[in-house]
Amino acid sequence: MSDRQVRSIVVVSGWLFALGAAAFVCWALFGGTSGSRAGSVGRNPASRIPELDQAELPSAASPAAEESAVEASAAASKKEGISELPESERKYLWEVEHHVNLLADVGFPKVAAALMHADRERLAAILAEGFVAEVPGVESEIHIDSPVIHVARRQAEDGPLEKMDADAFLDYLMAFRARFPKEPRVKLSVKGFAPTVRYNYDSTWEGECLLRMWGESQPGQPEEVSMNLRYRLPRPKEELFEKGGWLTHCTVLKAQKASSTHFLMQDVAAERGIDTSLFHDNWILQEKGLRPQPVSGGAHLCDYNRDGWLDMLVNDMKGVVFYQGGPGGQLTDVTEDSGINAVLAGHLSLGAPLTTITTFADFDNDGWEDLLLGGLFLRNEEGRQFADVTHFSNFVPTTSATNVSVADFDRDGLVDIYICVPGQSKSDSWVEGKSGRSHGNLLYRNLGNWQFENVTERANAGGGFRSTFTAVWLDVNDDGWPDVHVPNEFGNGVLLVNRGDGTFSEHSLMPYPCDFGTMGLTCGDFDNDGRIDIYTANMYSKAGNRVIGNLLPDAYPPEVMAVMNTYTVGSQLYRNLGNLKFERLGVKYAVNDCGWAYGPCLADFDNDGFLDIFATCGFISRDRGKPDG
């Protein structure tokens, strides 16, 4: 997010903004105007919560039954008086966010500038008379088994706080600043903020923020300081910030310094043989005034010729490029030689391939990875070429798929296909958690010989009309049968546990609302306890958290608040405790606050035997000079 916070959407619909945009993705992706019921309302949440208390959820009702349930509960919710936020509350949230903008745009930039220039005097001028600070006294060295990375952290939770006056606190801050011989970049982001007396804007204000300083301590040596601060000041006003002496209290909740002898990852796409101009980039097209796209394509890995060097297919709005890997990781464009171009040319009448359903998998079980590319089947001819076998297959992909994943769910020796389908309607309820009532995910059983049978209904594998952007297979209960976790763009996902008889039972990761805005996910045993854990990539928004945090606790009925409180918390790490029980660790481990998160990756980058996390995020960036939510 940019430094400037916006009142915009944020004020009255901070979370709505965030989510709205989540929905926007599939909306824009799939042509938009399929909204079914204008002005519709969701089901009565009161009727929904009890089922969340059960580990095993009932399967989705038939569309007709659900339709009538929706209408009945719409009437019920009106009766219960669950409606709009009162005007006075909306105005309060609006006012608070305006003060956030003042602080973020006028007040905090002064702190950032003083720190950047290492100007102790200017920093001192910001502190009020009688300023008091508290900082964590105990430094816990974070042990990283690496000769190149050093991280140290002090946290309020680790021990008693040390009180400091203005002078001592300035010394403390300047010591962090001194880690950067040259001017670092400095940024303060407002997390929570509100007057200490509700509705009284002239009372003392309190909030939290994240202060980051980052740069190179020596050329090529990255250094970063990040501090979570709680602070107090009088009502934010431009004149006050100009005059100085406004910061009255500051508590350091967490202070971390991280450094490395060199940048640990370096982009070498061009050197390895990738011509990035072949692929869609919103930032380049934006300069020409073109509308941004929400999604452009992915990357799919295989070893199609089984030579031990990994190959990669990049699918993109602008076309498909297949790279063959070789010594040193060099990639050579073999889209033509591999026969992929010819296959695509044979299907030109289809228009651009629906490349959202793309995966390598050995569908014919001959040991050579075949390619499902936008509904076309390409058989791998022993690593020499791909041949079009689409016409041999009875598989007809749905036109609205977002993704595909493979697993041999019935353990018959052939890999099966699981297709993810997004929601179809933007007029549904935010709190209801489902999207559209006519599409669910699809499970196709591989019968061999390129024949597939849609077994979704029989297997109970549809995932309950969630809006789904991906799904991951894992053996979640260690019983030898592949299970699948189906996330949800608009609420809790569902864990489909394989019963071993060709059917799945539906389970909830937690017995209460826990995820929202899940755009991607992955899994792996992060703590090496032998159980596979799940990491969901959700939406995080500082603005959304402020607005929801500033609602009255009873602004909506408890079950509605419980859902709303998940909206902008961000990504979650679910530690698998066994017996289909999980512990939610995203916030505790601070791997939640990525942003608008998409497909993440769990991989052991430092080869220490423990899986690390890489998280992608950011939705649509248009103008660095302009505000954001």
In contact, 379 and 364? CB cutoff 8 Å = yes
Among 211, 331, 419, 514, binds another protein (CB under 8 A): 331
CB under 8 A, 24+ apart: contacts of 263-269: 263/220, 263/222, 264/148, 264/149, 264/605, 265/605
Any contact of residue 293 with another protein (CB under 8 A)?
yes
Q: Report the nearest approach of another protein to the CB of residue 165 (Å).
A: 31
Among 241, 360, 377, 504, binds another protein (CB under 8 A): 360
Is 578 a binder of another protein (CB under 8 A)?
Answer: no
Report if residue 384 touches another protein, rule: CB under 8 A: no
Pick one of 105, 162, 333, 381: the residue that binds another protein (CB under 8 A). Answer: 105
Name the minimum Å distance from CB 392 to another protein: 19
In DSSP notation, 563-590 reads HHTTTTB--EEEEEEETTEEEE-TTTTT
- Quick one: which of 114, 547, 574, 582 contacts another protein (CB under 8 A)? 547
**Least distance CB 507 / another protein (angstroms):** 18
Of 301, 599, 312, the closest CA to residue 472 belongs to 599
Q: Give Cα 114 distance to the centre of its chain.
A: 34
Q: Which stretch binds another protein (CB under 8 A): 46-54, 108-116, 270-278, 507-515?
A: 270-278
142 binds another protein (CB under 8 A): yes
Shortest distance, CB of residue 121 to another protein, whole angstroms?
A: 28
Instruction: Name the minimum Å distance from CB 359 to another protein.
Output: 6
Based on the shown chain and the rule CB under 8 A, indicate whether residue 569 belongs to the binding site for another protein: no
Nearer residue to another protein within complex by CB, 150 or 347 = 150
Report the distance separating Cα 304 and Cα 297, nearest Å.
20
The tally of CA atoms less than 13 A away on the side-chain side of residue 140 is: 11
Q: Which is nearer to another protein, 134 or 223 (CB)?
A: 223
173 is a site residue for another protein (CB under 8 A): no
Structure tokens at 58: 């009932």
Q: Is 554 in the site for another protein (CB under 8 A)?
A: no
Q: Does 519 bind another protein (CB under 8 A)?
A: yes
Spatial distance between the Cα atoms of 467 and 34, rounded to a whole number of angstroms? 14
Minimum distance from residue 617 beta carbon to another protein (Å): 5
Contact between 160 and 195 (Cβ < 8 Å): no
Cα–Cα separations (whole angstroms), residue 20 to 199, 273, 335, 559? 28, 39, 38, 20
**Encoded tokens for 204:** 């003392």
Q: How far apart are CA 97 and CA 192, in angstroms?
A: 10
Which residue in the set 234, 294, 502, 549 belongs to the binding site for another protein (CB under 8 A)?
294
3-class state of residue 80 by DSSP: coil
Number of residues lying near another protein (CB under 8 A)? 207
Q: Which helix (H) or strand (E) holds 322?
A: strand 319-325
Per-residue interface string for the shown chain with another protein, residues 580-599, x marking contact by CB under 8 A: --------xxxx--xxx-xx
3-state SS, residue 112: helix
403 binds another protein (CB under 8 A): yes
Question: One symbol per residue from 246 to 265: x for binding another protein (CB under 8 A), - otherwise; what is it?
Answer: ----------x-xxx-xxxx
Q: Which helix (H) or strand (E) holds 28?
A: helix 8-29
Binding of another protein by 180 (CB under 8 A):
no
Binding of another protein by 427 (CB under 8 A): yes
Residues 207-246, one symbol each (x = binds another protein by CB under 8 A, - = not), give: -------x-------xxx-x--------------------
Least distance (Å) between residue 519 CB and another protein = 6
Q: Tokens 């969630």 — which residue?
A: 466
411 binds another protein (CB under 8 A): yes
- Specify whether the CB–CB gap between 312 and 359 falls below 8 A: no
Specify the residue, 164 or 227, whose C-beta has the smaller distance to another protein: 227
The binder of another protein chosen from 50, 130, 147, 553 (CB under 8 A): 147
Pick from 390, 493, 398: which is nearest to 442 by CA? 398
Chain residues 32-71 in contact with another protein, contact rule CB under 8 A: 35, 38-42
Check residue 492 for interaction with another protein (CB under 8 A). Answer: no
- Is residue 272 near another protein by the rule CB under 8 A? yes
Q: Does 606 contact another protein by CB under 8 A? A: yes
559 binds another protein (CB under 8 A): no
Residue that the structure tokens 């297709």 belong to = 419
> Residue 93 interacts with another protein (CB under 8 A)?
yes
φ, ψ at 553 (rounded to 5°): -55, -25
**Helix runs in 493-606, H state only:** 542-549, 558-564
**Residue 299, interface with another protein (CB under 8 A)?**
yes
Tell me whether residue 113 or residue 301 sits nearer to another protein (CB atom).
Answer: 301
Which ranges constitute the DSSP H helices of 103-138? 108-116, 120-126
The answer to the question of residue 138 lying near another protein (CB under 8 A) is: no
Other CB atoms within a 10 A radius of the CB of residue 295 amount to 16
Q: How far apart are CA 473 and CA 418, in angstroms?
A: 10
